[in-house]
Amino acid sequence: AQKVTQAQTEISVVEKEDVTLDCVYETRDTTYYLFWYKQPPSGELVFLIRRNSFDEQNEISGRYSWNFQKSTSSFNFTITASQVVDSAVYFCALSTYKYIFGTGTRLKVLA
C-alpha cells in the first residue's frame, strides 16, 4: 500500500525563522517519485520539486531545500529565512503507478 504522512497539521513561525515541513512515505515499490506542491490562499496548486527514488542527493533552490532519506522514508522540506509570502498549505506526494497526496501542512509566517 502507498501512503504519505504529513504529521504537522499547522505550523506558525515568525518571519525570518527557518522551518522544516516533514513528509514520511510508505511504498513497496523500488521505483517511485516524490513531489512537493504549494497551495497558496488563491487555491491553485504549484509544483515545487520532483525527486526519483534513485537520487538521494539533497537539493537547494534559493531559500528552499529538500532532504531525501530512503533509510527513513522521508522527504523533508526546509524554508530558510521564511517570508510572509511563504504562507500556504504545502503538500507532499508520492507516485508509483498513481499519485498519492498527503493531507498537507498549513504554514503561517507572521510578520
Partner 1 sequence: GAGVSQTPSNKVTEKGKYVELRCDPISGHTALYWYRQSLGQGPEFLIYFQGTGAADDSGLPNDRFFAVRPEGSVSTLKIQRTERGDSAVYLCASSLDGTSYEQYFGPGTRLTVT
Contact flag: residue 12 with partner 1 (CB under 8 A):
no
CA separation for the pair 40, 107 (Å, rounded): 10
4 vs 104: CA distance, rounded Å: 10
**Is residue 54 packed enough to be buried (19+ CB in 10 Å), middle (13-18) or exposed (0-12)?**
exposed
Question: With CB under 8 A as the contact rule, which of the stretches 19-27, 65-73, 77-85, 100-108 interacts with partner 1?
Answer: 100-108
Q: Which stretch binds partner 1 (CB under 8 A): 19-27, 58-66, 74-82, 101-109?
A: 101-109
Residues binding partner 1 (CB under 8 A) = 33, 35, 37, 43-47, 50, 52, 91, 95-104
